[in-house]
Amino acid sequence: MSQFDVLCVGDVVTDAFIKLLDDKAEVQESNDGPLLAMPFATKIPFDHTEVLNAVGNSANAAVNFAKLGLNTALVANVGGDSPGRDIINTLDQADVDTKYVRINTRKKSNYHFVLWYKEERTILIKHEEYEYHWPHIPQKEIPKWVYFSSISDNALDFHDDVVEWLDKNPETKLAFQPGTFQMKAGKERLGNVYKRSELVAVNREEAAFITGGKVEDVNDLFDRLHKLGPRIVLISDGSHGSYASDGESRFKMPIYPDPKPPYERTGAGDAFTSTFVASIMHGNTIDGALQWAPISSMNVVQHVGAQAGLLNEKQLAELLQKAPEWYKPKKL
C-alpha cells in the first residue's frame, strides 16, 4: 500500500432519517431557542424514512476526500453488528480504506435518528462507549495529513495519543474540525491539539465559544484562534459566507448561489470544510480554496444526507466556471 494522502479520525454512525409531514409538526419559539413540536402520546403519520450508513463528521470528510481523488483511510470504531458491517461496506464502496476501522465485537455501532422537518433536522444521538486506540501505521503508509473531528466524550485521553503520534511524525499535518464534545473540553485541555494543528475549522459561533472572543468581530476571532497554534483558520458563517486566514492574509467569501431552496441541510458544514482542506492539500491558496468549498456545500443541501451531493474535482471546476462575477474572495 502506498502513502495515504489523508487519514480521517473520528466517530462513524448510521443516520436513520424520518421525514416528518409539514402539517404534523411545527417550530415554536422559546427562551432557549426554537423547539420542534408534535402532538404528545398519540400516533403521528410521517412521510418516509431513509437510512444512511457511514456518516459523521470524519466519515463524511473521508468520503469527500476520496471523491476528490485523495488516497484516504478512516480511524474509527464500529460494533460487531449488522449496522457495523453496513458501515464498513459503504466506506469500501466509496474507496475509503477501512483497515483502521476497529470492530468491537461485543458492542453496538453508533445509530442515530434524524427528525427531518422541512429543510432542517433534529438529531437524536447516542454515542457508544468504545475503548479508543491509535492504530499502528506502517512507515510507508504514514499520511501527509490527519483530519480529526467529532468523537465521543469518553475519548479525551485519545487526543493525547493522536498528538503524541503526530509529534513523532512531524511531516504529517493536522486539520482539526472540533466537534461538540471537543469544544466543551476547552482550549486548555486540548491545547496540544490546537497547537499541533496546521488548520482549524469552525463556524463563527463556535469560534467565539472556544476562544471567548467577540462573535461580531471576525478579526478578533482570527487573532484568538491563531494564538492557539494553527497556521490556517477557516470560519464559516452560514448564509453570510465564510472567512479564511493564513496569519498574513484574510479573506471573506460569499456563498455559491443555490439553484433552488435547500432540500435538507445535513452535512453542509462537513462538505464545506473537507473540500477546503482538500483544496489546500492539492496545493491551493486559502483564497483559491474558499472558492471551491461553498460549491460543495451548496450541492450537498440539494440531497438527503451528507454524502449524496458530494462532487468530484471536474464537477467542482465546471460549477466554478459557471459562477457569477461577484463570486470571488475579498480581502479583509
* pLDDT digits 0-9 by tens, 203-254: 999 999 999 999 999 999 999 999 999 999 999 999 999 999 999 999 999 9
Q: What is the structure's pLDDT at 305?
A: 80
Decide if 237 contacts 243 (C-beta within 8 A): yes
Model confidence at 2, pLDDT cuts 50, 70, 90, reads confident
Q: What is the mean pLDDT of residues 17-26?
A: 95
Superfamily for the 6-13+55-110+128-331 domain: Ribokinase (3.40.1190.20)
Does the pLDDT of residue 286 top 90, yes or no?
A: yes
Q: What is the structure's pLDDT at 119?
A: 86
Q: What is the structure's pLDDT at 264?
A: 74
Mean pLDDT of the chain: 95
Instruction: For residues 246 and 331, give the distance between their C-alpha atoms in angstroms, rounded to a whole number.
Output: 12
Does the pLDDT of residue 1 top 80, yes or no?
A: no
Instruction: For residues 247 and 266, give the distance between their C-alpha atoms in angstroms, rounded to a whole number.
Output: 31
Instruction: Provide, rounded to the nearest whole percent, the portion of the chain with pLDDT above 90.
Output: 90
Of 37-51, 162-176, 215-229, 298-312, least confident by mean pLDDT is: 298-312
Q: What is the structure's pLDDT at 200?
A: 98
Q: How many CB atoms lie within 10 A of CB 47?
A: 11
Does the pLDDT of residue 156 top 70, yes or no?
A: yes
Q: How many CB atoms lie within 10 A of CB 106?
A: 6
Q: What is the structure's pLDDT at 278?
A: 98
* pLDDT digits 0-9 by tens, 112-134: 999 999 988 899 998 899 999 99
* pLDDT digits 0-9 by tens, 56-75: 999 999 999 999 999 999 99
Q: What is the mean pLDDT of residues 146-160?
A: 95
Q: Cell triple for residue 227?
A: 494564538
Does the pLDDT of residue 5 top 90, yes or no?
A: yes
* pLDDT digits 0-9 by tens, 192-209: 999 999 999 999 999 999
Domain boundaries along the sequence of the chain: 6-13+55-110+128-331
